[in-house]
Amino acid sequence: MKIAIMGAMPEEIAPILEKVGVYTTHEIAGNKYYTCRYDRHDLVIAYSKIGKVFSALTAATMIETFGAQTMLFSGVAGAISPQLAIGDLIVATRLCQHDLDITAFGHPYGYVPEGAQFVEADADLIQKAVAVAAEMGEKLHTGVIATGDQFVADPVRKAWIAETFAADALEMEGASVAVVCEALDVPFFILRAISDAADMDAGFDFDSFLESSAIISADFVMKMVEHID
Ligand code: ADE
């Protein structure tokens, strides 16, 4: 199977490139894509740069140009749920865009006509992840992930996102990748390890825990690859 593994930042894919070892580098539209063979699969690996636009471009390129048949996203997120501590893993069951707002026309936050407020993630990949977590003896949280072009370091904004979308974690790429994958009919899996709590300390915590949390997420995603048929 041709599997895409993407992150948003170099730190999020560095542990993956280290694990696969040998790969070929391709340059398309200002991004690098790395292809290799790993555990019976062909992989295409890339980081998109931060945010919804860059991540949508990268996801679409992985699918349309490289022929990816499954999308695995690995990275870090800010916690909303008090159950989530730094380093904890959360897989998205559904995702939304918290900064998408045409409420002036009577629509709910996160919704545009012919779209949906939430995109549902692939149930089979989530089930696989639950089995992998059990095998690894790791705790894996599941929940709603809210995405926006905004680094949230503000308790008021965090509370608003929590209330409006019943979200458990937030980041800046998951929902845009989800929208692209759904439109192109490719199953997707968005995994995040917590780097901060989207509060006043978020900037400091993010810098401190980006690398360690990215490794936790990357290790799990590579275990997922080994379990995909
Ligand atoms: N990714 C990790 N932490 C984040 C935060 N606080 N806001 C947005 N994206 C994030």
Q: What is the pLDDT of residues 96-138, one digit of tens each?
A: 999 999 999 999 999 999 999 999 999 999 999 999 999 999 9
Q: Whose CA is nearest to atom 9 of ligand 1?
A: 171
CA 203 to ligand 1 centroid distance, Å? 9
Atom of ligand 1 nearest to the CA of 197: 6
Any catalytic annotation for residue 201? no
Report how far residue 122's alpha carbon sits from residue 110's, in angstroms, rounded to the nearest whole number: 20
Q: How far is the CA of 149 from the centre of ligand 1 (A)?
A: 10
Percent of the chain with pLDDT over 90: 100
pLDDT class of 37 with cuts at 50, 70, 90? very high
The pLDDT of residue 36 is: 98
**How many structural domains compose the chain?**
1
Going from the Cα of 179 to the center of ligand 1, the distance in angstroms, rounded, reads: 19
Going by C-alpha positions, the residue among 75, 77, 81 that lies closest to residue 147 is 77
Per-residue pLDDT tens over the stretch 41-70: 999 999 999 999 999 999 999 999 999 999
Query: Helical H runs in 166-201?
Result: 174-183
Which residues form the domain of 104?
A: 2-227
Ligand 1: residue of 206, 208, 212, 213 to mutate (most ligand atoms within 8 A of CB) is 206
- Please give the structure tokens belonging to residue 167: 């979200």
Q: Give the number of the atom of ligand 1 that is nearest the alpha carbon of residue 150.
A: 8
CB of 152 within 6 A of ligand 1: the answer is: yes
Going along 8-118, which residue ranges are E strands?
24-28, 31-38, 41-47, 70-79, 89-97
CATH assignment at residue 68: 3.40.50.1580
For residue 78 and ligand 1, the question of a CB distance below 6 A is answered with yes
Distance from Cα 36 to the centre of ligand 1, integer Å: 30
| Cβ of 160 below 6 Å from ligand 1 | no
pLDDT, position 229: 86
Q: Tell me whether residue 154 is one of the annotated catalytic residues.
A: no
Predicted confidence (pLDDT) per residue in 149-174, tens digit: 999 999 999 999 999 999 999 999 99
Catalytic: which of 11, 122, 182, 196? Answer: 196
Amino acid identity, position 45? I
